[in-house]
Amino acid sequence: MRQAYRRWAGVYDEVFGAVSRAGRLRAVAAVNAMPGTRVLEVGVGTGLALPHYAPEKRVVGIDLSREMLSRARARVAERRLGNVAGLVEGDAECMGFADGSFDIAVAMFTATVVPDARRLYREMRRVVRPGGELLFVNHFAAEGGLRWWAERTLAPLSRVLGWHPDFTLGDLLENPAAATEITPCPPFGLFTLVRVPNRPAGG
């Protein structure tokens, strides 16, 4: 995965920025409307979302790709984003943050490119305080129709690129019913915003 993103880092914004923009902006708007100031962006990439967080949000980003983070740091410096508290190179499935370090964690277009999406989810739950929020923007497989057929036809090639068109909400959440919001995003509902409260154990 590091090698793949090393290759993509230089053109990622141009290739994927436009198609992912609506979902990204919708996720950041949701974060900005939530209580709490400590925000973790998991899979921050080149930092496309960073300029859109409200000034009062203190944002930490984590990403596996050094090359992506280099572009994110340049963006922070160029835009003078004083609310970005840190950009950390690390594994989203095994983060070095203490339990309950954040009020909100958001992962945009990340769940399908990690080896174990449920482990990502559990790790995000760990680093967010009980009562906080988890947000995901991702592509989830269609249940039928032309898009369903196209996704499965393209699945082998997409996996080479690190994208799993047959990825389902159940692949991410152990209990999909835990999601309190599931909202399709443009273009064409290709991506979905999923909101999951980080309820305390037994809650």
Amino acid identity, position 66: R
Q: Measured between alpha carbons, how far is 75 from 63 in angstroms, rounded to an integer?
A: 15
Q: What is the pLDDT of residue 21?
A: 82
pLDDT by 10s per residue, the chain, length 203: 555 555 454 445 545 656 678 889 999 999 999 999 999 999 999 999 999 999 999 999 999 988 889 999 999 999 999 999 999 999 999 999 999 999 999 999 899 889 899 999 999 999 999 999 999 998 887 655 545 555 555 555 455 445 566 788 999 998 999 999 999 887 667 789 999 999 976 55
Q: What is the pLDDT of residue 10?
A: 47
Q: Measured between alpha carbons, how far is 122 from 36 in angstroms, rounded to an integer?
A: 20
Q: What is the pLDDT of residue 162?
A: 55
> Which of 125, 86, 129, 103 is CA-nearest to residue 35?
103
Q: Measured between alpha carbons, how far is 26 from 183 in angstroms, rounded to an integer?
A: 10
What residue ranges define each of the domains in the chain, with the CATH number in brackets?
Answer: 2-195 (3.40.50.150)
β-pairing, 181-185 vs 191-197, is antiparallel
Per-residue CA distances from 170 to 16, 100, 112, 182 (Å): 25, 25, 12, 13
Q: What is the pLDDT of residue 91?
A: 96
